[in-house]
């Protein structure tokens, strides 16, 4: 069936599936921009916690003058919650899926969404690494499926990667681009789908080498963090890698990397140290131990520091 061309003005109701770390923040972003949002997860407790967390996030933004304190009750009113998937999506014009990173689960949810949603509804996944063509495999609307990859925390990081499959229509891409822009995000269109798009691919390359450095005894994890934080990490917040190296010149880069590249980690296998950390339950904050010992106070201090820096960057952008 041919549907009339859709534009951003036709998007009124948003549904967000999965109310965890990312889902609640994505729902918040749409609600802040005045959209009606229905947030869905599998238990009432999870949904209650998500609403509470949105309230805390909004309070933080108000404390820093990014939103008006008086807008908080109205924003919260824009977010409805339900444990019933059909109720969450039946009137949705646009759905963002943010459930656990698991391909069969996402495929199953997209198949259900395909059956439950209106014909015009666009379905976007917030997957970190999977491709929209894989996620939408069992649906009949592959032209209306794409990824919108937000970064954590989605209400403090402006960029959203927009990844289309070869089946995604130009209309789906343009409505999504306009919608993201309208809610204050900075969409980056990724031209060709690939596992991990741009951001996660680059981060994966960095952490692969970081593990290799620690595993080979070149430096400790603490030293790696110290170096990144206080050197090129500072530059990266104002200039991308191509900009940074164009300041130096590609001839110098070529000379420096010719030997170095032979020594870098290029393994297709998971680093044995990473495997060992997971096998021994050293998961980081969630188990209280990783390379560091994580007390509640220590992790809160780091989270606060990151929030403050991200809020500062947001204000600089204004
Ligand atoms: N955490 C990050 O930094 C980050 C960044 C970008 C993208 N992502 C991606 O976002 C997605 C969500 O990640 P997260 O960190 O928010 O995870 P999370 O574990 O915090 O949240 C996932 C939520 O999905 C819910 N869920 C699981 N199965 C469900 C189902 N069948 N129906 C409805 N809800 C269900 C869970 O109950 C949970 O609340 C993943 O695909 C992840 O890769 C995560």
Question: 134: pLDDT confidence band, cut at 50, 70 and 90?
Answer: very high
- Residue whose CB lies within 8 A of the most ligand 1 atoms, among 15, 16, 19, 21, for a mutation test: 21
17 φ, ψ (degrees, to nearest 5): -105, 115
pLDDT of 8 reads: 86
Cα–Cα dist 220/223, whole Å? 5
Rounded alpha-carbon distances, angstroms, from residue 18 to 51, 126, 136, 174: 12, 10, 17, 25
Q: What is the DSSP letter of 206?
A: H
Encode pLDDT of 199-239 as tens digits. 999 999 999 999 999 999 999 999 999 999 999 999 998 99
The residue whose CA is least distant from atom 28 of ligand 1 is: 99
pLDDT above 80: residue 1? no
The residue whose CA is least distant from atom 3 of ligand 1 is: 152
Q: 183-209 as b/e, with b when 16 or more CB fall inside 10 Å?
A: bebebbebeebeebbebbeeeeeeebe
Q: How far is the CA of 13 from the centre of ligand 1 (A)?
A: 21
Range with the lowest mean pLDDT among 3-12, 132-141, 147-156, 185-194? 3-12
- Pick the atom of ligand 1 nearest to 101's CA: 41
The residue whose CA is least distant from atom 7 of ligand 1 is: 128
- Pick the atom of ligand 1 nearest to 99's CA: 24
- Residue whose CB lies within 8 A of the most ligand 1 atoms, among 41, 81, 89, 100, for a mutation test: 100
Encode pLDDT of 292-304 as tens digits. 999 999 999 999 9
Closest CA to 218 of 264, 281, 255: 264
Region 59-84 average pLDDT: 96
- Pick the atom of ligand 1 nearest to 152's CA: 3
Q: How far is the CA of 227 from the centre of ligand 1 (A)?
A: 31
Cα–Cα dist 88/244, whole Å? 45
- Pick the atom of ligand 1 nearest to 100's CA: 22
Listed in sequence order, the residues at least 6 apart from 103 whose beta carbon sits closer than 8 Å to its beta carbon are: 130, 134, 135
CA angle 167, 171, 173 (to 5 degrees): 70
Pocket of ligand 1 (CB under 6 A): 17-23, 40-42, 46, 98-101, 105, 109, 126-128, 149-152
- Residue whose CB lies within 8 A of the most ligand 1 atoms, among 18, 48, 158, 162, for a mutation test: 18
Whether residue 55 contacts residue 72, with contact meaning beta carbons closer than 8 Å, is answered with: yes
- Pick the atom of ligand 1 nearest to 40's CA: 33
DSSP H helical segments within 137-184, as ranges?
Answer: 170-182
Q: What is the DSSP letter of 139?
A: -
Rounded alpha-carbon distances, angstroms, from residue 263 to 210, 213, 256: 13, 11, 12
Listed in sequence order, the residues at least 6 apart from 314 whose beta carbon sits closer than 8 Å to its beta carbon are: 66, 156, 158
Encode pLDDT of 249-289 as tens digits. 999 999 999 999 999 999 999 999 999 999 999 999 999 99
- Pick the atom of ligand 1 nearest to 105's CA: 31
Listed in sequence order, the residues at least 6 apart from 252 whose beta carbon sits closer than 8 Å to its beta carbon are: none
Encode pLDDT of 175-209 as tens digits. 999 999 999 999 999 999 999 999 999 999 999 99
Q: How far is the CA of 20 from the centre of ligand 1 (A)?
A: 5
Q: How far is the CA of 24 from the centre of ligand 1 (A)?
A: 10
């Amino acid at each position: 069936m041919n549907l009339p061309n859709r534009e951003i003005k036709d998007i009124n109701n948003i549904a967000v599936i999965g109310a965890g770390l990312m889902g609640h923040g994505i729902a918040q972003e749409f609600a802040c921009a005045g959209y009606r949002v229905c947030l869905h997860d599998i238990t009432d407790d999870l949904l209650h916690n998500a609403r509470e967390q949105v309230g805390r996030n909004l309070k933080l933004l108000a404390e820093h003058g990014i939103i008006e304190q008086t807008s908080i009750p109205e924003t919260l009113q824009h977010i409805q919650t339900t444990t019933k998937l059909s109720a969450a999506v039946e009137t949705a014009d646009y759905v963002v899926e943010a459930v656990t990173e698991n391909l069969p689960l996402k495929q199953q949810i997209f198949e259900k969404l395909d059956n439950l949603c209106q014909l015009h509804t666009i379905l976007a996944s917030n997957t970190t690494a999977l491709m929209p063509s894989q996620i939408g495999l069992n649906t009949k609307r592959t032209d209306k499926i794409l990824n919108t990859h937000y970064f954590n925390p989605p209400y403090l990081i402006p960029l959203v990667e927009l990844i289309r499959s070869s089946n995604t229509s130009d209309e789906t891409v343009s409505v999504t681009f306009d919608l993201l822009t309208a809610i204050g995000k900075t969409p980056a269109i990724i031209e060709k789908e690939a596992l991990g798009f741009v951001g996660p691919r680059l981060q994966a390359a960095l952490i692969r080498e970081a593990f290799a450095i620690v595993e080979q005894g070149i430096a400790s994890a603490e030293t790696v963090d110290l170096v990144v934080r206080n050197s090129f990490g500072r530059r990266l917040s104002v200039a991308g890698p191509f900009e940074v190296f164009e300041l130096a010149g590609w001839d110098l880069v070529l000379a420096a990397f010719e030997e170095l590249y032979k020594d870098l980690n290029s393994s297709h296998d998971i680093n044995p140290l990473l495997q060992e950390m997971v096998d021994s339950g050293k998961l980081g904050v969630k188990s209280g131990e990783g390379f560091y010992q994580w007390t509640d106070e220590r992790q809160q201090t780091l989270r606060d520091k990151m929030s403050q820096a991200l809020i500062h960057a947001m204000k600089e952008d204004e």
